[in-house]
Structure 1
Amino acid sequence: MKTGVIIARFQTPYLHEGHRQLIKQVRDSHNKLIILLGVSPITGSRKNPYDYHTREKMIKKDYPEIIVLPVSDHPSDRVWSENLDNLLKSVFPSEHFCLYGSRDSFIPYYSGKFETVELPEHGDYNATELRKQYADKVFDSNDFRAGILYAYYNQYTKVYPTVDIALFRNNRTEILLGKKAVNNKWRFIGGFSDPEDADYESAAKRELMEECGEMEITEMTYETSRKINDWRYRNEADKIITLLFSCDFIAGSPAAQDDIIDLDWFKLSDLPQMLTDGFISDEHHELFDFMINKYLKK
């Protein structure tokens, strides 16, 4: 008799009734059952919050006799199919397999040599909605608090991309600077790039309009990039790297908006003295040094 293989992700906080019906249906047709858990290359994401070991323990708690193995995602469906076949044959060289999954899971992407069986959906169980139900729940237990630590310590150290903008006017003899409430010093206009931004140029234009209002400008031009010693991340492993862009003012009336509390135009020739006098935000010193060397010391 062939060994039954369920290929799934089980990215839920517990085994729901749909999972249990699925396992029962396959077990009733086979003497041995294997569950292959898909493993994403992205750790700790909203779609894949649980790593392999967490999901393995969840399954093994209720079904200790079931064999659970990881199968890593791959950009090529053909290679992924070959890896899946090789995994099964290397662990169980003398067995034959029947692979089970739903219409929307692995079946459309699998091109290996084993038989596949499409399983119907077992009830109205949506893993995404189930994760959302638990996303903002806080439990008063040591296990819950330990789980938070586990999740953060098993993520890659991150770089947060930001954009800053040097907006010029009058043949680049003047530059627009802003102040934030948390720091009463002048700085470039800017902020975090968003996943919805098409590119960093789009992010720069969006941030400029959000913080200064609608205006007509030229296209964004990349200037340089720097790691920013942002006060929020000084004691963190994660850091900010910003990309500095420049553009020219054409028309409009810039006005402080969002988290900008003040805006003003300054002569480019005043920037060196402003740096010396401590009027420029410490976080942006290197960016101002770059612009001074590029545009004033030609």
Structure 2
Amino acid sequence: MNYDVAVLIGRFQPFHAGHCSLIASALDRADRLLLLLGSHRCAPDTRNPWSSEERERMIRAALPADWQRRLEVIPIRDHLYSDNLWLAEVQQKVLAATDEEDRVLLVGHRKDRSSYYLDLFPQWDFQDVPLNSDVHSTAIRQAYFSGADDSQWASHVPEAVRAFLTDYRETGRYRWLRQEADYIAGYRQLWSVAPYPPTFVTTDAVVVQSGHVLVVRRRVRPGQGLIALPGGYLNQQEMVVEGMLRELREETGLKVPKPVLEGSIADRHVFDAPGRSQRGRVITHAFLIQLKGGVLPSVRGGDDAEKAFWMPLADIYAHEDSFFEDHVQIIQHFISRI
């Protein structure tokens, strides 16, 4: 059966030979292809190093001209804590790009547990495409950012992608990501001797006042220079609330009495997506502190924070690709409830 539209969902970090075969299979079965590009506007790290624009350039440069004419690239955001929000965005984007009578085919490859999303679209036919290669983007990124010899990754990507990645190594962003990769590798090595994989507990404070949220710019790795919520690891001998208030004061110097802060806690939630941090399994307890309107209290960076400042809520999404880990989604969770 020939379809009007094929849908292919992925991050393509980077685009490799296996992805190329998926596109070929999709275009064999459909007149045109909607390529949904995941992790849109994520802050760069070694899991999502390239922006949506950079990935689209890679993909288009690697494909024949006649394939490109039948291809539409549509970025979509991640929603770590709500499959339904993610599904709604996918459905909305596909609906906007198709006609009501179009026959739609979802194309994909079931590689592991991360492919569960392929079963979430019963309204479309599905084609599972086996890949001739066992290449994975994760292995390519690990070799590329470890400084390994090109032979360990270059043969797995199209020539145009190889050229892009070779040029990219001369950029400041590559050097920053390489340092991040080295830090993460060293951090994981420190814990590799533990008798079982460790689970870390952290706290984060979402302090909101007069349409602003209190944030910091990170002084240390990982995420050096990125915007983050004030927070950090829980000490062994403190309660979670105590740890949150301690980190808040250490990183921002917020001049609000402790009883006022405690009395202004309006909500709390645990954020535990298994892949939320590249350091390992990190579960954070986040608290919403809703302060009364008025003049914003003075703040200053301290401890692990290079700078502390009040950000207007309207600016969060303008800067979402500069936020550390899942902190935009943590903020979004709370401010949607205020």
Larger radius of gyration: 1
Query: With structure 2 as the length reference, what TM-score do the two structures score?
Result: 0.44
Q: More strand by proportion, 1 or 2?
A: 1
Task: Specify which structure has the bigger relative contact order, considering alpha-carbon pairs within 8 angstroms and separated by 6 or more residues.
Answer: 2
Q: More helix by proportion, 1 or 2?
A: 2
Query: With structure 1 as the length reference, what TM-score do the two structures score?
Result: 0.50
